[in-house]
């Protein structure tokens, strides 16, 4: 569903911007996600600006019920991993989103292990 994919894009922007900046690698990944679902450059720029500057915007994402919470969490985790070291604000927001998706700590850790091929 398109609305769900846009919501995941917004959450990915929030993960990328939680540390106060969005790196070039993160921007490229977000642009690819946006292009795949037909979100234009102006809308993506607005999402990224809000993700960097508006803590309330960051915390309010993922309100929809998702059919694949593990898949959504893995997508968001992969966005966080674009930084060499995941900054603390990104880790905290990732955990917050994991809980909003109905995942417990063990489930989140298992998804992270799988993402690393362990």
Q: Is the pLDDT of residue 37 over 70?
A: yes
pLDDT value of position 84: 76
DSSP secondary-structure letter at 101?
T
pLDDT value of position 2: 82
pLDDT band for position 24 (cuts 50, 70, 90): very high
Q: Is the pLDDT of residue 34 over 90?
A: yes
CATH of the domain at 106: 1.10.3680
pLDDT value of position 70: 94
Q: Provide the domain limits for residue 65.
A: 2-115
Nearest-angstrom CA–CA distance, 24 and 74? 21
- The 10s digit of each residue's pLDDT in 45-78 is 999 999 999 999 998 888 876 789 999 999 999 9
- The 10s digit of each residue's pLDDT in 71-114 is 999 999 999 888 778 888 989 999 999 999 999 999 999 999 99
Nearest-angstrom CA–CA distance, 118 and 113? 5
Region of residue 54 (phi > 0: left; psi between -120 and 50: alpha; otherwise: beta): beta
Q: Of 28, 23, 20, which is closest to residue 52 (Cα–Cα)?
A: 20
Nearest-angstrom CA–CA distance, 51 and 69? 21
Please state the domain count of the chain. 1
pLDDT band for position 1 (cuts 50, 70, 90): low
Question: CA end-to-end span of the chain, whole Å?
Answer: 31
Nearest-angstrom CA–CA distance, 25 and 83? 8
């Amino acid at each position: 569903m398109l609305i769900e994919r846009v919501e995941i894009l917004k959450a990915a922007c929030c993960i990328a911007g939680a540390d106060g900046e969005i790196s070039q690698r993160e921007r490229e990944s977000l642009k690819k996600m946006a292009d795949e679902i037909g979100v234009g450059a102006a809308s993506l720029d607005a999402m990224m600006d809000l993700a960097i500057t508006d803590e309330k915007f960051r915390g309010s994402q993922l309100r929809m019920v998702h059919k694949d919470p593990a898949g959504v969490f893995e997508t968001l985790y992969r966005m966080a991993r674009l930084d060499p070291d995941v900054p603390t604000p990104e880790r905290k927001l990732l955990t917050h989103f994991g809980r909003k998706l109905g995942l417990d700590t063990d489930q989140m850790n298992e998804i992270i292990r799988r993402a690393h091929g362990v």
